[in-house]
Structures are given as C-alpha cells and as structure tokens.
Amino acid sequence: MIELKNVRFSVPADESNDGGGPTKTIINDVSFTFEKGKFYGITGPNGGGKTTLSKLIMGINPVTSGSITLDGQDISDMSITDRARAGIAYGFQNSARFKGTTFRDLLSIAAGTDDEAALTRIIAGLGICSLDFLDKPVDTKLSGGEIKKIELATIIARNPKVAIYDEPDTGIDLWTIGPMVEVLKREQKEKGTTTIVVSHNRTFLEAADEILMIRDGRIAYSGGLDGALPILEDLSACSFGDLCEGETDVRCFR
C-alpha cells in the first residue's frame, strides 16, 4: 500500500534562481492511498502533473513537503535505489536503451538468476516464444514494441509490490496494447501487485479498478471510468484540440 499525505512538489519559477526566489507548484497538496493489489489508471490533461506524481512515488523527484509511505514505512527521504529495494518498480515513457547490453543481461539482473529455464518462464508469460530474443542487444535497433516488452519483462521479473508504468503505450502499435494490458492484469491478480498506469489510452483505463484524474497538480476526480468520461470530454474540447492519437485515445471521446 502506498499512501500520499499532503504531498507538494515545487520548482523554481525562474530556472536562473538558486532556490531563494519564487516557486511554481507542480503537485499541490495531494493525499491519496493506493491500495494493495489494485489497478489504478492516472489520466488528465497534458502538463497537469500525472508523470510528476508517479516520479515522486518512485523518488525520481523529491517531495517538497508532505509524506509518502509504503506499507506504513515513511519513504519520503529514501533514494530511488532504496525504494526499488523496498519493492517499487518504474517503467519510463521512453524506455532506456543500453549499448553493449543484451536482454538476457538485464533480465538476469532483474530476476536475480541466470538460469535459462527461469528466464524462459518469464518471457513465455509475455508471449515471447523465441529464445533468440534473449540475446538481442538493448540498443537503438529495437522497435518500440520490442523495447517495451523488455522493460515489462524486467519489471515483472522483480516481482515488485508496486509497479508504475508511465504511458506504456508510447511507441507501440495498437495490436500490442491489448496483450500488454492482459499481462499487467494477470500480474495484479496473481501476485497482488499494486499497479499504477499513467495513460490517455482507454484500453488501460478500462482495465483499471480506479481512475485518478490529475489536473493543475491536484486530484480532480477519483472513481470509475464512467464518471471520468464526462470530465475528459470537456477537457478534450477545451484543452487538447487536435492532439488526439486515434480512437483508443480517451482525449478523443466527444
């Protein structure tokens, strides 16, 4: 369980100041509890604070004030490394690539074993049938779908308490999204993973047990997708214009 209490995150309003000048608040007094084993979808307008909130949980950005606890333990001042060891995993919108490193290398580190049978079980659960895929270099030659599968596999291999995915549909085709959602739901149900997905994509949001809409650094709505859609329709008309990315993009629902 992840609990946020009065979490605030501010940055200097002017990049040139040394911290003594005016500030701009990105996340404004957010309190929320992510319960164990539930699937959460975080959505809302661009620039509203969705990704920033997820990075605060991971420790990529430090909270300015307030607290974050994991299973009752205050982790507000923990480093990213210590939070990862405590059971939080993070998938970036643009997945990292590592020249000279193979998928097998990364997966072995994440799983804590280089036993091929164990690694095979993990990739089989993602629908990867070819063992040759394990020896692919994690470099710029990989497609968007391939790099996302690799990142997803390394997160699953860690068996985290909390798994955060920032716009996991970035760079992948529509046919990959459905199977990805199925994998996340399976992990959530079978292992009790608290799953947090930042996305505009309706497929992910429909899979969520609860939707959080972040707007202007605050939680503007929490609840089911049906309740969120009227708000999102209003936002799509006034905020997104022609930025829609296809019929599955919730910003296009009018």
- Say what the pTM is: 0.83
Distance separating alpha carbons of residues 221 and 113, to the nearest angstrom: 42
Listed range (132-146, 167-181, 185-199, 235-249) with the worst mean pLDDT: 235-249
* CA-closest candidate to residue 156, choices 107, 213, 224: 107
pLDDT tens-digit profile of 26-83?
999 999 999 999 999 999 888 889 999 999 999 999 999 999 999 999 999 999 999 9
What pLDDT was estimated at residue 15?
Answer: 67
pLDDT tens-digit profile of 157-208?
888 999 999 988 877 777 778 888 888 888 888 889 999 999 888 888 989 9
Domains of the chain, CATH where assigned: 2-252 (3.40.50.300)
Find the length of the chain.
Answer: 254
Residues 56, 214 contacting (CB under 8 angstroms): no
* CA-closest candidate to residue 42, choices 78, 95, 93: 93
